[in-house]
Structure 1
Amino acid sequence: MKIKKWSLLFLAGMLVAFLAACSGDKAEETKGTADNKSNSGSEKVLNFINPEAIPSMDPALATDESSFVYLAATMEGLYRLDKDTKPVPGIAIDHEVSPDGLTWTFKLRDDAVWENGDPVTANDFVYAWRRAVDPATGSEYGPYMMNGVIKNATAISKGEMAPDQLGVRAEDDYTLIVELENPTPYFESLTTFGTFLPLNQKFVEEQGDKFATSSDTLLANGPYTIKDWKSTSNSWNLVKNDKYWDAKTVKMDKLTFKVVKDPQTAVNLYEENSVDRVDLTSDLVDQYTSNDDYTVTPDTFVYFIKFNQTKSEALANTNIRAAISRAFDKKALVEEILNNGSIVANGLVPKDFTPMPDSGKDFREVSGDLMKYDLDAAKQFWAKGLEELGTDKVELELLADDDATTKIMVEYIANQLETNLEGLTVKIKQVPKEQRLDLDTNMDYQMQVSRWGPDFLDPYTYMNLWTTDSGNNWMGYSNPKYDELVKATVTTLATDNDARYQNFLEAEKILFEDAAIAPIYQASRAQLISPRVKGVFINPFGATYEYKWADVAE
């Protein structure tokens, strides 16, 4: 078995004097056995599988892993993550930061164009960012990424100010000025994320409601264009964008993608040399562990159960939530059900993600295990909760995605909960990921298996999820002390990194004292990867895969 790891290092030059965070060397995919005519032909092609249809190709509306992967492949923002997970010039060639850290001036390249030949200008960023934070757009990530960061974003997202008051303006076509609410040393890292991509205003407005619903209603400015895609498509292609400013760096002519949800079908395609990378489920891991193509890559995605306190009297009870959070054996789940290198999660911020600025110790180690499997404690909390509710029976629904691995996992969790908590009945509801995301946004669920991967290298990317006004807190959770601690890390304590991390530690403890969520596991990826695949990197934050530097090994 070949284990490929990315180690997290301090991001020199990105977080400057105040913010100590860590960067990851990406896992470069180089193993496998698949063959393809592109090795000998003139066209370079790699073939991949995706676990679901793409939920959205609108940068303002995208909220999930798949969407951000294909946005990153077809579009480019101010900066882009390189193979070492460091921001490198994209549309921006350089920037300056004012002494007080509040004004960032980006100089843009003058040779970047959209797929239709229009120049990419500072106005494209102004339009896109205003659109993302405008309540009329209905973006989750716009407010989440910009509130408290870009000047006036919070007021705009609440409908208290007009979008044109956002702290972003075009001084000229190739000079973008951004004003921040508070010093944000990781802002350069933030600009690599999908929500901050530019948009061609004329094109978007011409498309109207059809924008980003098909290949014909999208406009690329990145390494690839997406072809043969509609919002319901189960297959699509990424084709080299010859008008991309750095097209000479893009080696691949085409990357093909097919939605395959059944793991055995995916492996069969790999064995037939039809695809160049597949994820392995637990039952397949044992079969392929000794295969030369087998690779395990640690990940920073944390899976957890969300409790919607507004849809169930039981889930509004802290003791009931505390009981459920402790009543299923996570060690057995990762070792027997997943069997892919994933590890138990007993907190929110993942292991090996960020070090403490004062000691260099891993944040997870310092914060400790905050929500462990503890059957005795679970039963005690359960009894207290039932007594408070005045009942001896509770029925709850557990929402989850409809892929095969998730099906096995939620069946295991439901069985554990029903077995260990007398009087509890759990009904499973599995739906396509896009539908689950809609149900989440509409708070139309009781319990939900969800996950979060970091958008930038700082604990705030996890901790801000559960503040009362967060655009991702769709479960009715609110704790004023938690809000105060988290918000201070980007306001009054923005330049005191030691104090920021102490706030994060205290806030995380409050989150689990309230049993707001139930952590399950921190993911790893067990895969078969063809030796043909070269230069495809896995990011520890942001878009999972970076395809710009993809190539075929000869």
Structure 2
Amino acid sequence: MQSHSMRWRFVLLLAVFALVAAACGGSDDATDETTTTGAAETTTTAATGETTAPDATTTTVAEEVEAPTAENQLSGLTVVDDKTFTVELTTADPEFPIQLAYTAYFALPSVAYDNTLGYNKAPIGNGPYMFPEGGEWEQDVAIDLVTYADYAGPAPANDGINFVISPDPKTNYLEAQAGNLDVLSAVDPEFLASAPTDFPDRFAQSPSTGILYMAFPEYMDDTFTLEHRQALSMAIDRELIIEKIFNNSGTAAHSAIPSNLGGRDDVCESWNYNPDAAKALWDAAGPIDAFDVWFNQGGGHETWIEAAVNMWDNTLGIDSGSITFQTAEWADYLDHADNGEFTGPFRLGWGMDYPSPLNFLEPLYASYMTAADGGSNASEYNSPQFDAALAEGKAAVAASGNLADGIPFYEAAEDILCEDARTMPIRFSLNQFAWNEGVDNVFMDAYSNVGFSLITADDGIVSSDLTNPASLFPMDANESEGTQVLMGNLFTGLVQFDAQTGEQYMANAESITSEDGGLTWTVVLRDGWTFHNGEPVTAQSYVDAWSFGARSELGFQNNGFYKKFVGYEELNAG
């Protein structure tokens, strides 16, 4: 056991990065964590029907809010000088530095608080790209960015990005094939067989930590008993779906944790295909006359969900005509998730916020991480035993500084999750992307975001597909579309992942250190960094932004990230 008086340094966590250096984790299906609010309109169809729903973008960002002051600042954040601040956590967390690439931990300029709704339309960041003067996010149309001339980091290899907003991956593929998109960030499964021919020497694949899953709302346990949930999961032939629907891209998921982050092969009986056992469980539990299955539009999910429904029909004797698809556009779908409105099994995906097994358990299944808590537990799973196992794992890591010491407890938590059959892991995804002639040096980073700043472009501008984001306000953006625009483009974090190597490196931070085992951290910033409006990036910029995001009354989707900070409870006591 290492002494708590030793000097803990960011470099000690490089062993964790090695787990994902070759993984380039993330998912085009992820990170589907949100806490949006408001009414949403849904389209209901039979399991074999077409689905349509109105376009919508939902955000919790308000127009007028109280700006950060000394009175509404987290007490665990202390400014030492313009370039230095300290972070005091409620419990020691040696993994803290590897989390700081995420949007929740970006700095904000003071103008962000003047009109947060207006800022959400054209965020002013500290990254290599910025909105042109007078430019803003055109909802459902485009996001155009140009390079920031005074960027303190490495200059981009191109002159700007043109995000073309379209929800249909099949349309995006055809547009790229026609030469109307330079970069295609995700190839629809229907075209995977032809992609290497359609884009000769310009189609690439890289491993990912992203997971596609279905889950059962705990508030529907009167309908879906434990035996029903186990049977539905065991009736799904994941390998066959990977082969036939995803053209052998990705791998079947028999664990809630990716294998390159320590996931096990044989975790859970009900996460494996066993049609005889599934039928026996279903018959013993009794039939469910009709039920709904939920998934979002625009992600190409209907095909594989139809396949799963057909498997339920063939294996369990469920008439597929009795199953109704409930679908909605992405932002509306997130509303349903956050408001506890699912009426049956639902689809979501997840990509890492940071490279640790804990990140695939705590945000999605801990009882204190529901939408009401600013988290992503859409199933509202509530297991004291599961929570306790996570707590033991975190304590073990904090005591030794060795992430491996937490693994037995995280595995115990996963075993409990299996026993409760709250989730059905389906597929670990694979980054699959393509690009056209005229651009080169295309890679995807640890969040499955394209590394736009590395791309060379003959005409200067790089165009790429994008689904309309739910939000571009960093404290509110935690789904893949928003993070793609923000991370490494509009903003540079304290740390970042290299899109080419998958390795994490110091970016806006000069150093991140702890001398007490990870309970208190000192962050020192690099010199010369400014926001796009010329305002210096200072320690106060980070303290104000994180304190702002921690205010629960603002309803930011990333609010749960700040609960670990000392002062969170006091800040939100009133």
Shorter chain as denominator, the TM-score bin is 0.5 to 0.7
1:14-33 equivalent positions in 2, closer than 5 A: 14=10, 16=12, 20=16, 22-25=18-21
- Quickly say closer, same or farther: Cα 1:509–1:370, change in 2 above 3 A: farther
* Structure 1 residue 385 corresponds to structure 2 residue 294: no
Please state how far the C-alpha of 1:209 moved relative to its aligned partner. Answer: 4.1
- Quickly say closer, same or farther: Cα 1:377–1:318, change in 2 above 3 A: same
Task: Measure, in 1, the Cα distance between the counterparts of 2:361 and 2:323.
Answer: 28
The equivalent of 2:378 in structure 1 is 474
Secondary structure class of the residue paired with 1:495: helix
> Does the Cα contact within 8 Å between 2:268 and 2:418 map onto a contact in 1?
no
- Quickly say closer, same or farther: Cα 1:404–1:503, change in 2 above 3 A: closer
> Does the Cα contact within 8 Å between 1:51 and 1:260 map onto a contact in 2?
no
Task: Measure, in 2, the Cα distance between the counterparts of 1:375 and 1:60.
Answer: 36
Among 337, 343, 346, the alignment partner of 1:440 is 337
Secondary structure class of the residue paired with 1:230: coil
Secondary structure class of the residue paired with 1:460: helix
> Does the Cα contact within 8 Å between 2:297 and 2:327 map onto a contact in 1?
yes
> Does the Cα contact within 8 Å between 1:15 and 1:185 map onto a contact in 2?
no
Please state how far the C-alpha of 1:314 moved relative to its aligned partner. Answer: 1.5
> Does the Cα contact within 8 Å between 2:35 and 2:335 map onto a contact in 1?
no
* Structure 1 residue 495 corresponds to structure 2 residue 399: yes
Task: Measure, in 2, the Cα distance between the counterparts of 1:18 and 1:297.
Answer: 21
- Quickly say closer, same or farther: Cα 1:481–1:280, change in 2 above 3 A: same
The equivalent of 1:173 in structure 2 is 82
Secondary structure class of the residue paired with 1:346: coil
- Quickly say closer, same or farther: Cα 1:282–1:545, change in 2 above 3 A: closer
- Quickly say closer, same or farther: Cα 1:319–1:226, change in 2 above 3 A: farther
Please state how far the C-alpha of 1:468 moved relative to its aligned partner. Answer: 0.9
Task: Measure, in 1, the Cα distance between the counterparts of 2:22 and 2:139.
Answer: 31
Task: Measure, in 2, the Cα distance between the counterparts of 1:245 and 1:262.
Answer: 36
Task: Measure, in 2, the Cα distance between the counterparts of 1:302 and 1:539.
Answer: 16
The equivalent of 2:486 in structure 1 is none
1:342-421 equivalent positions in 2, closer than 5 A: 342-354=250-262, 363-365=263-265, 367=267, 371-386=271-286, 392-403=287-298, 405-421=300-316
* Structure 1 residue 326 corresponds to structure 2 residue 234: yes
> Does the Cα contact within 8 Å between 2:94 and 2:397 map onto a contact in 1?
no
The equivalent of 2:183 in structure 1 is 277
The amino acid across from 2:351 in the alignment is G
Task: Measure, in 1, the Cα distance between the counterparts of 2:32 and 2:282.
Answer: 37
Query: Any stretches of 5+ residues in structure 2 without a counterpart?
Result: 1-7, 38-59, 66-70, 370-374, 460-574
Please state how far the C-alpha of 1:369 moved relative to its aligned partner. Answer: 7.0
1:410-447 C-alpha deviation (Å, 9 max, x unpaired): 22222222332234632112221121112111111132
Task: Measure, in 2, the Cα distance between the counterparts of 1:19 and 1:285.
Answer: 34
> Does the Cα contact within 8 Å between 2:254 and 2:267 map onto a contact in 1?
no
User: Which deviates the most, 510-519 or 286-295?
Assistant: 286-295
Secondary structure class of the residue paired with 1:456: coil
The amino acid across from 1:430 in the alignment is T
1:303-324 C-alpha deviation (Å, 9 max, x unpaired): 1101112146213x21111111
Normalised TM-score (structure 2): 0.63
> Does the Cα contact within 8 Å between 2:23 and 2:209 map onto a contact in 1?
no
The equivalent of 1:450 in structure 2 is 348
Secondary structure class of the residue paired with 1:297: strand
How many residues end up aligned between the 2 structures? 403
Please state how far the C-alpha of 1:486 moved relative to its aligned partner. Answer: 0.6
Task: Measure, in 2, the Cα distance between the counterparts of 1:51 and 1:509.
Answer: 27
Task: Measure, in 1, the Cα distance between the counterparts of 2:396 and 2:32.
Answer: 37
The equivalent of 1:546 in structure 2 is 451
- Quickly say closer, same or farther: Cα 1:457–1:51, change in 2 above 3 A: closer
- Quickly say closer, same or farther: Cα 1:512–1:367, change in 2 above 3 A: closer
> Does the Cα contact within 8 Å between 2:365 and 2:381 map onto a contact in 1?
yes
Secondary structure class of the residue paired with 2:264: helix
Ranges of 4+ aligned residues in structure 1 off by more than 6 Å: 59-62
Task: Measure, in 2, the Cα distance between the counterparts of 1:468 and 1:405.
Answer: 30
The equivalent of 1:106 in structure 2 is none
User: Which deviates the most, 253-262 or 192-201?
Assistant: 253-262
> Does the Cα contact within 8 Å between 1:16 and 1:185 map onto a contact in 2?
no
Please state how far the C-alpha of 1:256 moved relative to its aligned partner. Answer: 0.8
1:385-423 C-alpha deviation (Å, 9 max, x unpaired): 22xxxxx33322111121262121222222222332234
- Quickly say closer, same or farther: Cα 1:494–1:532, change in 2 above 3 A: farther
User: Which deviates the most, 249-258 or 401-410?
Assistant: 401-410
The equivalent of 1:462 in structure 2 is 360
- Quickly say closer, same or farther: Cα 1:261–1:474, change in 2 above 3 A: closer
Task: Measure, in 2, the Cα distance between the counterparts of 1:437 and 1:230.
Answer: 20
Secondary structure class of the residue paired with 2:112: helix
> Does the Cα contact within 8 Å between 1:223 and 1:244 map onto a contact in 2?
yes
1:196-228 C-alpha deviation (Å, 9 max, x unpaired): 011123x1231144441x12xx21211111454
The equivalent of 1:115 in structure 2 is none
- Quickly say closer, same or farther: Cα 1:517–1:523, change in 2 above 3 A: same
The equivalent of 1:235 in structure 2 is 142
Secondary structure class of the residue paired with 2:323: strand
The equivalent of 1:428 in structure 2 is 325
* Structure 1 residue 507 corresponds to structure 2 residue 413: yes
The amino acid across from 2:306 in the alignment is E
Q: Percent identity?
A: 19
Secondary structure class of the residue paired with 1:232: coil
* Structure 1 residue 207 corresponds to structure 2 residue 115: yes
Secondary structure class of the residue paired with 1:22: helix
The equivalent of 1:197 in structure 2 is 106
Query: Any stretches of 5+ residues in structure 1 without a counterpart?
Result: 1-11, 29-49, 63-131, 138-161, 355-362, 387-391
* Structure 1 residue 265 corresponds to structure 2 residue 261: no
Please state how far the C-alpha of 1:292 moved relative to its aligned partner. Answer: 2.9
The equivalent of 1:188 in structure 2 is 97
> Does the Cα contact within 8 Å between 2:255 and 2:425 map onto a contact in 1?
yes
The amino acid across from 1:433 in the alignment is W
1:166-214 C-alpha deviation (Å, 9 max, x unpaired): 411212222111112233222211111111011123x1231144441x1
- Quickly say closer, same or farther: Cα 1:353–1:18, change in 2 above 3 A: closer
Task: Measure, in 2, the Cα distance between the counterparts of 1:17 and 1:335.
Answer: 37
Secondary structure class of the residue paired with 1:171: strand
Please state how far the C-alpha of 1:380 moved relative to its aligned partner. Answer: 1.9
Secondary structure class of the residue paired with 1:394: coil
1:139-187 C-alpha deviation (Å, 9 max, x unpaired): xxxxxxxxxxxxxxxxxxxxxxx85344112122221111122332222
Normalised TM-score (structure 1): 0.66
Please state how far the C-alpha of 1:383 moved relative to its aligned partner. Answer: 2.1
> Does the Cα contact within 8 Å between 1:321 and 1:515 map onto a contact in 2?
yes
